[in-house]
Amino acid sequence: MKLPRRIAAFFRRDSETLALREEMKLHVELRARKLHHAGLAPDDAGFAARRQFGNAAVYQDQISALWGWTMWERFWQDLRHGIRMLFKAPGFAAITVLTLALGLGINTAIFSAVNAVMLRPLPYPHSERLISLWEETIHKDQRFSSSGTPVGTAGGSQRTTVAVANIADYRASGAFEDLASYDSSPVNLTGMGTPQRISGESVTWNYFSVLEVLPVEGRTFLQEEDRPGADPVAIVSHEFWQQRMGAAAEAVGHPVLLDGKPYRIVGVLPAGFQSPPKLGVDTPTEVYLTASYPREQLANRGDHDVNVVARLKPGVSLAAARAALGTTWAGLAKQYPATNGNLRPAIATLRDDLASDVSHSLWALLGASGLIVLIACVNVANLLMVRAAGRRHESSVRMALGAGRLPLMRQLMTESLVIAAAGCVAGIVTGRLLMLALTAMAPPDIPRIENAGMDWRVFAVAAAIALTTALIFGMAPAWQASQVKPVEALKTAARGTGGTSQVRWRTALTIAEVSLSLILLVGAGLLLRSFSTLMGVNLGFQTDHVIAMNINLPDLHYPDAQARLQFFQKIEDRVRSLPGVVAVATANRLPMRGGWSSGIFVDGDMENEYSPDFQAVSPGYFETLGIPLLRGRTLTGQDTADSTPVAVVNQAFSHQLLEDRDPIGHTMQRSPNAPRISIVGVVNDIRRKGKDGLIKPEVYLCGGQTNLYPVHLADFAVRSAGDPRALVNAITREAWAIDKDQPVTNVRTMDEIIDEAVARRRFQTLLLLIFAGVAVALAIVGIYGVLTYSVSQRLSELGIRVALGAPPRAIVSLVLRQAGALIAAGIALGLVGAYGLTRFLQDLLFEVKATDWHAYAGAVALLAMVAVIAALIPARRGARVDPAVALRQE
Amino acid sequence: MLILKTLARNKPLHGFAIAEFILETSSGVLQVEEGSLYPALQRMLLKDWIAGDWGKTEENRRARYYGLTAEGRKQLARELDRYARVSQAIAAILQPV
């Protein structure tokens, strides 16, 4: 009740003050008149009245303090004073605000990325209860461990998709409201303009109810539609409806041709809805089809091929759900030891799971940007100390006139707050700009980063950091100022000599700066080394002059392996005769585009099952990708569905599965009753999954014999003499000449594919390099500032030295020695810090240890070099000092 | 207490009148620096014991007239009560045996 009254009074305090004055004046006048009537002379009466009244000004002050105005008035006073002081020193103000803006801006930008990707709730109702579920194989022993390259994560667990048959058991665990499964299932869209391949998903009927999304038109799937043989129905995205159907009023009930088969649209999803795996991806899912798992799949616990999203029951925690699943798994493992014994379910919140790929690098970047803020703080503190030193005289005069230490400190703190506030505003603006640059530069596979923007969290964090920095950098000079002994300070006259404690403080700050920037430099160095190691990795195949594309033939028109083979043989013949084509290849999957692995038994030994990578390839595959044949023969056109099944393997296969025996002549089979496949050749190892992938045993099956295997030929690659891009139109034309409804999609040169695969590493390396650059620049400014100041303080001393005959070289080395001590101390501290902190980078590093000495040595050398250069400038200035001028200044 | 009592006995008064009233009623015994009246008035305003209204004096000068609020009356009652107890205690001690 009192507070609002105080606040209201505060705003009319001026009129209140006037009113009080009027009241008091009236009082005195009335008293004077009364005394006059009592017989006093008018002058004496007035005098007596005033004496009787007392000191009006004191009463005014008492009243003012009573209402709590004094505190505010002092704050305003300090604030106005602070702002005035900043305007009086625009250079100083600009540098401090810029430094803060840079530090805060980088931090704000990175934090808003972290916020968007990892902290903000997913765009689904009650998304905190959405769970991602997967299965993990527990490796008890590592069969494929060999010298050199380890295979898989030894002793760890490997994530796989979920077996449909297990889902019902997981549901029975009781922790979830419901579970739905989904899988990406791209389809060919025909009958709406040029044939196109669009993103589709096959989902269980309850998928949308688990995500709690309601269609804007029509309905979601019915349970009876999610069965083999049910009427084909589809649900489309709002964007599909708007753009592909021209927002036709009657979308529901409309037929749509997918993979050549007519589907009836039963629902349209709300605008902006995206399924979890596609959040922030530029190829959003456009159609959803029912999963309609066949009976065999529903019974098979060995086939892992779907993703699962689940919704926790309200009030069930993640840990409780994990425990419930653990119990379920124990039962399953006992009942089905062959399929479930080594395979346990694992869960995480959907949000964390979606960000799991990038969370490491984002945290590392956030840590790095935190270091930058610290450096910026230290720098500003340093600048403020210089300023405080310059104002020692002012401080001591104030103190001599009776100002308390506390008000003095308070005033300096207020000035720091003004700087922090300005820095905060500038930092948020900088952060916004950096964020725009960041999202534009970011590789497209970081989920949800495009939503990075300012919200209350970002603002709150920026403001909190600014306030903290103000406290940190404001404290030192304020404390310093309060330690001023007016008598001594005034004795040393107007010259702003910093005391020894001043110098000690600034030395400490500079050392801190050097060490912090060394930490960043080491981090950047490690990432750079990791990246260059990665770039130096030999893939084992030639990526230049190769263009790759998908040609997914729909089952409806190409019902069997033979039909697909014929299509690809036709297109191979047609494309091979195009000018500029060197070689053509067909495969189920080209390198870098996923693949298939299957269990096999070698030479009829049914005891040991291995699981190498498999692909079915055409005879031209090895030539097109430039994979050299080492022994035996490659696949030829004579290997057909009617001849013996043959395959080519790589070195790792013979190394890991055959104990380095020559594989030619050995056989393998996928199950006891399956036909034996003869190995006819050995090719060079390749890293199928890209530069950071592992060399795994590979089996190249014959593309002409795909009737034996569950793979579809679908990828097509061409090696050209010139620019492979120039061939794209001609190839597409040839494809359409064979089948006018056949889309050719995902057209990329191999170089581009490899490039995209390392884009994220390149991005984080680049960012950390930029951060380290900023840090070093700030540290250099710090070193330069300290030395320039110290040289200007020692001008007279240096002048005397020069006058006494010291050569310039001696002066330079004198200053450099001082700088060297600073730098060395900073580097020593920084090495300790880097050793402690860079271990958090280990997960981001490729084949480089976090303690890699190259990175440390490089960082130390670079920092020492630029620091010495920064020190040279003031040192030379000191050496050039004219003794006469220097001495006259005294 | 004195101010509150003064205001309770009279219609709303301005500062000088309050001072005069206390001075006259106490026959000149209670005399302090008159200005200290004003911080005291302000304190009571803040505590909502009294309310101030601007009006005109007999000579047509602007002045603030202070009057007791309901809260002020309660406060007066509390203070009178306490005063009565204290003075009784003092009287009891001072009573000649």
The token pair that represents A590 in the structure block = 């080209």
Q: Which residues of B touch A19 (CB under 8 A)?
A: 64
Whether the CB of B38 is below 8 Å from some CB of chain A: the reply is yes
Separation in Å, CA of A62 to nearest CA in chain B:
6
Does the distance separating the beta carbons of A66 and B39 come in below 8 Å? Answer: yes
Q: Which residues of A touch B20 (CB under 8 A)?
A: 34
Q: Which residues of B touch A4 (CB under 8 A)?
A: none
Best residue of A6, A26, A29 to probe chain B, by most B CBs closer than 10 Å: A26
Whether the CB of B30 is below 8 Å from some CB of chain A: the reply is no
Separation in Å, CA of A33 to nearest CA in chain B:
12
Ranges of residues in chain A with a pLDDT under 70 are 1-6, 9, 139-157, 390, 445, 450, 481-502, 886-890
Q: Which residues of B touch A3 (CB under 8 A)?
A: none
Confidence of residue B9 (pLDDT cuts 50, 70, 90): confident
Nearest beta carbon to residue B64 from set A19, A53, A54: A19
Q: How far apart are CA A496 and CA A387, in angstroms?
A: 9
Nearest beta carbon to residue B35 from set A53, A66, A67: A53
Q: Which residues of A touch B (CB under 8 A)?
A: 1-2, 5-6, 19-20, 22-24, 26-27, 30-31, 34, 52-56, 58-59, 62-63, 66-67
Nearest beta carbon to residue A53 from set B14, B34, B39: B34
Question: Which pLDDT belongs to residue A581?
Answer: 93
> Tokens 């708007």 identify what position?
A242
Q: Which residues of B touch A67 (CB under 8 A)?
A: 42, 46
Q: How far apart are CA A278 and CA A280, in angstroms?
A: 6
* DSSP per-residue codes, A511-571: HHHHHHHHHHHHHHHHHHHHHHHHHH---SS--TTEEEEE----TTTS-SHHHHHHHHHHH
Q: Which residues of A touch B57 (CB under 8 A)?
A: 26
Q: How far apart are CA A623 and CA A586, in angstroms?
A: 12
B2-94, which class in CATH? Answer: mainly alpha
Question: Which pLDDT belongs to residue A153?
Answer: 38
Separation in Å, CA of B73 to nearest CA in chain A:
19
Question: Which pLDDT belongs to residue A373?
Answer: 87
Q: How does strand A187-190 pair with strand A157-160?
A: unpaired
Question: Which pLDDT belongs to residue A5?
Answer: 67
Whether the CB of B48 is below 8 Å from some CB of chain A: the reply is yes
Best residue of A63, A64, A70 to probe chain B, by most B CBs closer than 10 Å: A63
Per the CB < 8 A criterion, the answer to whether A312 and A325 are in contact is no
Nearest beta carbon to residue B33 from set A6, A30, A54: A54
Separation in Å, CA of B49 to nearest CA in chain A:
12
Question: Which pLDDT belongs to residue A490?
Answer: 62
Model confidence pLDDT, tens digit, residues B40-89: 888 888 888 888 888 887 778 888 888 888 888 888 889 889 989 999 99
Separation in Å, CA of B11 to nearest CA in chain A:
18
Whether the CB of B35 is below 8 Å from some CB of chain A: the reply is yes
CA closest to B41 among chain A residues = A63
Separation in Å, CA of A59 to nearest CA in chain B:
6
Question: Which pLDDT belongs to residue A672?
Answer: 81
Q: Which residues of A touch B14 (CB under 8 A)?
A: 23, 26
Q: Which residues of B touch A63 (CB under 8 A)?
A: 38-39, 42
Per the CB < 8 A criterion, the answer to whether A852 and A846 are in contact is no
CA closest to B39 among chain A residues = A63
Nearest beta carbon to residue A26 from set B16, B35, B48: B16
Separation in Å, CA of B42 to nearest CA in chain A:
7
β partners of residue A549: A716
Separation in Å, CA of A416 to nearest CA in chain B:
35
The token pair that represents A445 in the structure block = 């596979």
The domain spans of chain A are 2-67, 69-125+357-498, 140-341, 515-536+752-890, 558-740
Q: How far apart are CA A802 and CA A879, in angstroms?
A: 8
How many CB pairs below 8 Å do chains A and B form together?
60
Whether the CB of B39 is below 8 Å from some CB of chain A: the reply is yes
Nearest beta carbon to residue A66 from set B20, B43, B61: B43
Separation in Å, CA of A73 to nearest CA in chain B:
19
Whether the CB of B28 is below 8 Å from some CB of chain A: the reply is no
Task: Give Cα separations from A37 to A34, A44, A219 (angstroms).
Answer: 5, 12, 98
Task: Give Cα separations from A568 to A468, A556, A625, A627, A839 (angstroms).
Answer: 66, 17, 17, 21, 50
* DSSP per-residue codes, B14-34: -HHHHHHHHHHHTTT-S---G
In this prediction the ipTM stands at 0.81
Best residue of A15, A27, A62, A63 to probe chain B, by most B CBs closer than 10 Å: A27
Does the distance separating the beta carbons of A23 and B46 come in below 8 Å? Answer: no
Burial (CB < 10 A; 0-12, 13-18, 19+), residue A834, is buried
Question: Which pLDDT belongs to residue A1?
Answer: 46
Phi, psi values for residue A682, rounded to 5°: -125, 130
